[in-house]
């Protein structure tokens, strides 16, 4: 296996290339967790891995309680399978809470504040509909819990980290919050070793080829925990050393290395770019600054070809009932117009609008 093969295999294991899934829930179960702080980008990340799902289908999967959005790891929003949310939060969120402790103290969020916020929201949500963020902030404000600045969202995040809240269905453009115990199906806690093994198996099945360091970064767990998790499932995977790094992956079927001519329009923050500590196998280091301008944590949407190489970035211009896709190839990289139009048409279909043009 050479470096170009890593990109190609990831394209397939992440199901960006065929075979894609039939349903939204299948995508999220396969990936295990999908970064989702940008809602519009995250629903397309799910959609592009399906045969023909639309934006509405993702919302429907939330309403059916098949998938859920919360802060399970690294202090960042992710989509997770509804049935796995509790054990994933229990396993990984404590590390994020510990890392955010200084900021939590700075915002004067202590046990008393959280207890009061928990009681208020539980009282409202136990018998009522999901609550929007502005409604939650108004509730806090009315009971002397200051939500100004980032304090309100950090209170909600802490309650999600402890397993009280998660996001519910959108109301228009507004996200809502729900009580996990009322909204999601009940589930037995998983022993820590079992949870680690499930997480490792899911990650290397859906993200491989990947390294133990990639897995540790993705989960936010310690390297010791990551190594123990990989050791517990190593018999189900194969490893290969490339340029001094050991990569783990599911055995590759014969003929699975063939490329195709399909072009892919990935959203910002997609797992294909973001799901690894080392992204150099798919994104040439000299172009990394064009995907993460200023290295500020904001990931641009990317154009990826059938080999798995990132060729450039793209944006969309939305008009009434239509969308125009604008591609920005990297220096000395070309993006084929016909393939771009096909990819753009697929994205327009996901949005349920017409394709006005491709630039």
* Pairwise CA distance, residues 174 & 153, whole Å: 14
SS3 for 180?
A: helix
Q: List pLDDT tens digits, range 38-96.
A: 999 999 999 999 999 999 999 999 999 999 999 999 999 999 999 999 999 999 999 99
* Pairwise CA distance, residues 295 & 242, whole Å: 27
* Pairwise CA distance, residues 5 & 32, whole Å: 23
Per-residue confidence band for 252, with pLDDT thresholds at 50, 70 and 90? confident
What average pLDDT does this structure show over 285-290?
94
What average pLDDT does this structure show over 7-32?
96
212 — phi, psi (to 5°)?
A: -60, -40
Instruction: Tell me the average pLDDT of the chain.
Output: 95
SS3 for 50?
A: strand
- Angle 140-113-220 (CA atoms, 0-180°, nearest 5)? 105
**If you write DSSP's letter for every residue of 283-345 in order, what string do you get?**
S-GGGHHHHSGGGSSPPPPEEE-TTS-EEEEEEEEEETTEEEEEEEEPTT----HHHHHHHHH
How far from 359 is each of 154, 300, 328, 337, CA to CA, in Å?
40, 17, 9, 9
* Pairwise CA distance, residues 216 & 219, whole Å: 5
What average pLDDT does this structure show over 246-261?
75
Q: Is the pLDDT of residue 1 over 60?
A: no
- HSE (CB half, 13 Å, CA atoms) of 233? 23
Q: List pLDDT tens digits, range 201-246.
A: 999 999 999 999 999 999 999 999 999 999 999 999 999 999 999 9
* Pairwise CA distance, residues 12 & 6, whole Å: 10
Burial class of 169 by CB neighbour count within 10 A (0 to 12, 13 to 18, 19+):
middle
- Report CA dihedral (189, 87, 100, 136) to the nearest 10 degrees: -90
The rounded percent of the chain whose pLDDT value lies above 90 is: 92
pLDDT at 290: 96
277 — phi, psi (to 5°)?
A: -70, -40
* Pairwise CA distance, residues 48 & 14, whole Å: 11
* Pairwise CA distance, residues 263 & 344, whole Å: 9
């Amino acid at each position: 296996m050479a470096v170009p093969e890593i990109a190609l295999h990831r394209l397939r294991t992440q199901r960006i290339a065929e075979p894609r899934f039939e349903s939204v829930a299948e995508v999220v179960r396969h990936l295990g967790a999908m970064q989702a702080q940008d809602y519009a980008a995250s629903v397309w990340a799910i959609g592009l891995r399906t045969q023909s799902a639309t934006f509405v289908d993702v919302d429907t999967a939330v309403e059916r309680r098949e998938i859920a959005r919360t802060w399970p790891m690294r202090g960042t929003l992710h989509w997770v399978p509804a049935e796995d949310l509790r054990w994933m939060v229990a396993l990984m969120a404590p590390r994020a809470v510990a890392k955010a402790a200084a900021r939590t103290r700075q915002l004067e969020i202590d046990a008393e504040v959280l207890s009061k916020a928990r009681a208020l929201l539980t009282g409202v949500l136990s018998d009522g509909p999901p609550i929007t963020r502005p409604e939650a902030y108004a509730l806090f404000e009315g009971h002397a819990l200051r939500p100004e600045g980032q304090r309100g969202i950090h209170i909600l995040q802490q309650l999600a980290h402890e397993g009280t809240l998660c996001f519910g269905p959108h109301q228009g453009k507004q996200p809502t919050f729900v009580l996990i115990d009322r909204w999601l199906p009940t589930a037995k806690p998983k022993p820590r070793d079992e949870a680690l093994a499930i997480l490792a198996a899911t990650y290397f099945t859906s993200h491989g080829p990947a390294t133990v360091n990639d897995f540790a970064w993705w989960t936010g767990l310690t390297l010791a925990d990551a190594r123990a998790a990989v050791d517990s499932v190593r018999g189900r995977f194969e490893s290969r050393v490339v340029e001094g790094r050991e990569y783990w992956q599911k055995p590759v079927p014969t003929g699975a290395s063939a490329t195709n001519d399909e072009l892919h329009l990935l959203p910002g923050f997609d797992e294909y770019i973001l799901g690894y500590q080392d992204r150099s196998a798919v994104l040439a280091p000299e172009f990394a600054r064009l995907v993460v301008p200023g290295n500020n944590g904001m990931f641009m949407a990317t154009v990826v070809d059938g080999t798995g190489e990132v060729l450039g970035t793209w944006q969309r211009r939305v008009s009434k009932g239509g969308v125009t896709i604008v591609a920005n190839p990297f220096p000395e990289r070309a993006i084929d117009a016909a393939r771009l139009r096909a990819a753009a048409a697929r994205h327009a279909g996901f949005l349920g609008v017409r394709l006005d043009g491709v630039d």
